[in-house]
Amino acid sequence: MDSAKICLAAVTGVCLAVIIKQWRSDYLPLLRLALTVFFAWTILSLAAPLVTYLRNLTEETGLSSYAAFLIKALGIAVLTQCCSDICRDAGEGGVATGVELAGKVEILLLCLPLIGEILSAAKELLAFSF
């Protein structure tokens, strides 16, 4: 049902945008903003149970620290992708590339402790083999 609601809102918004563009194009940014807020709200309401389920699942398995990295990295990736797409649509390709690069660096910085743990475990495994 959520997919039908999203598709119906998108088609309605596009039809309204075509009509508004012909008559009063100065109201078009307001329509786009309203649609963006609607889609963001819908997506967040769809993602909330998913995050709760993943949190419960990782707490039961004892891998909550690793799942925190994964969820944060996924959030950063989605946010930077949406932001860079908006910048590209506005004709600012350079800003979009900068946003994507900043997101990649932030994910790398987020994962540095995890990389350190992996290297430490590899070092211990190599020490046991000799």
Assess if residue 130 is contained within a domain.
Answer: yes
pLDDT score for 44: 81
Give the model's pLDDT for residue 28: 80
Query: What's the domain count of the chain?
Result: 1
The DSSP result for 6-59, as a single string, is: HHHHHHHHHHHHHHHHHH-GGGHHHHHHHHHHHHHHHHHHHHHHHHHHHHHHHH
Whether residue 78 lies inside any domain: the answer is yes
Query: Span 84-89, mean pLDDT?
Result: 84
What's the average model confidence in pLDDT over 81-85?
87
Q: Is the pLDDT of residue 127 over 60?
A: yes
Query: What pLDDT, on the 0 to 100 scale, is given for residue 124?
Result: 86
Domain membership flag for residue 14? no
Q: Is residue 125 part of a domain?
A: yes
> Which pLDDT tens digit goes with each residue over 10-61?
888 888 888 888 888 788 888 888 888 888 888 888 888 887 887 788 777 7
Q: Let me know if residue 23 belongs to a domain.
A: no
- Predicted structure pTM score: 0.64
87 within domain boundaries: yes
What's the pLDDT at 106?
93
Classify residue 82: in a domain, yes or no. yes
Residue 102 lies in a domain: yes
pLDDT of residue 102: 92
Whether the CB-CB separation of 114 and 67 falls below 8 Å is answered with no
**Domain enclosing residue 130, as ranges:** 63-130
Confidence of residue 130 (pLDDT cuts 50, 70, 90): low
C-alpha span between 75 and 43 (Å, rounded): 12
For residue 1, is pLDDT > 60?
no
